[in-house]
Structure 1
Amino acid sequence: MKKAGILNRHLSGALAELGHGDGVLVCDAGMPVPDGPRVVDLAFRAGVPSFAEVLDGLLAELVVEGATAATEVREANAGCAALLELRLPALELVPHERLKELSAGARLIVRTGEARPYANVLLRCGVFF
């Protein structure tokens, strides 16, 4: 049994299968989930787990070389925008509709219980060397 890190067996296993360039969408409870990518749904109740908790847990385990979020997050969810800019210095912003299109190409989608708008980010996996 693991004693640290991500304990959810489905999420931990999915992370172990990721490679360089793979996309991981971390999303709020309202983001449309496209057919195709593997989905690990962590949503339990509104706000649980939060987007910030899940993002921080993933960033502790993944090498991330890039990230994309919706431009609309800046106006609709300033707290999330600040979190993304702090955690992901190379953050690219695109219109929300474009982010939804890009999410169809993700290898993994991690749905949180976040109930604030535009709390979504598409992470691009890097390598540790």
Structure 2
Amino acid sequence: MKKSPLLHIALSRLIASLGHGESVVIGDAGLPVPPGVPLIDLALTRGVPGFMVTLETILTEMQVEHHVLADELALHSLHLARQIDALCLPDKRTLSHADFKRMTHSAKAVIRSGEFTPYANIILVAGVVF
């Protein structure tokens, strides 16, 4: 059995398969998933699992080079934007929600949480550990 906090088989496979520069999206319950992009649906019920628990668990195994947020997150969900900032992730980039959704088309996968907070979405771009 694994010793790290992340136990979900599909998520572990996804992270292990990432190459430098490939991206993974963690989305709220309403983020559309582009055709052809695999979905790992964790949403069980409203708020379960939450966005931050999902993000923090993914970060136990994934090396992140930079991350992308929609500008609207800080405008509509400042508390969540501050929680993400407190994680001290490298190189934050922001863009419009429309551009964010376009960027999800090139993701290796979308992970859907049960989050119901507006704009609770992030794109994590894989880095390297060397």
- If the length of structure 2 is used for normalisation, what is the TM-score? 0.94
CA contact (8 A) 2:6 2:60 kept: no
2:23 is the alignment partner of 1:36 = no
The amino acid that maps onto 2:13 is G
The equivalent residue for 1:101 is: 102
CA contact (8 A) 2:28 2:112 kept: yes
Stretch deviating more after TM superposition (82-91 or 58-67) = 82-91
The equivalent residue for 1:69 is: 69
- Unpaired segments of 5 or more residues in structure 2? none
The equivalent residue for 1:47 is: 47
Identity %: 39
- Unpaired segments of 5 or more residues in structure 1? none
The equivalent residue for 1:4 is: 4
* Pairwise CA distance, 1:4: 3.1
The equivalent residue for 1:90 is: 91
* Pairwise CA distance, 1:3: 4.0
Q: Structure 2 CA distance, aligned partners of 1:31 and 1:57?
A: 20
Q: Structure 2 CA distance, aligned partners of 1:98 and 1:26?
A: 16
CA contact (8 A) 1:84 1:91 kept: no
Tell me how many residue pairs correspond in the alignment.
Answer: 129
Q: Structure 2 CA distance, aligned partners of 1:18 and 1:6?
A: 16
- If the length of structure 1 is used for normalisation, what is the TM-score? 0.95
CA contact (8 A) 2:38 2:108 kept: yes
CA contact (8 A) 2:42 2:113 kept: yes
2:21 is the alignment partner of 1:24 = no
2:117 is the alignment partner of 1:116 = yes
CA contact (8 A) 2:4 2:60 kept: no
* Pairwise CA distance, 1:72: 0.4
The runs of at least 4 aligned residues of structure 1 exceeding 6 Å deviation read none
* Pairwise CA distance, 1:33: 0.8
The amino acid that maps onto 2:95 is V
Q: Structure 1 CA distance, aligned partners of 2:21 and 2:90?
A: 18
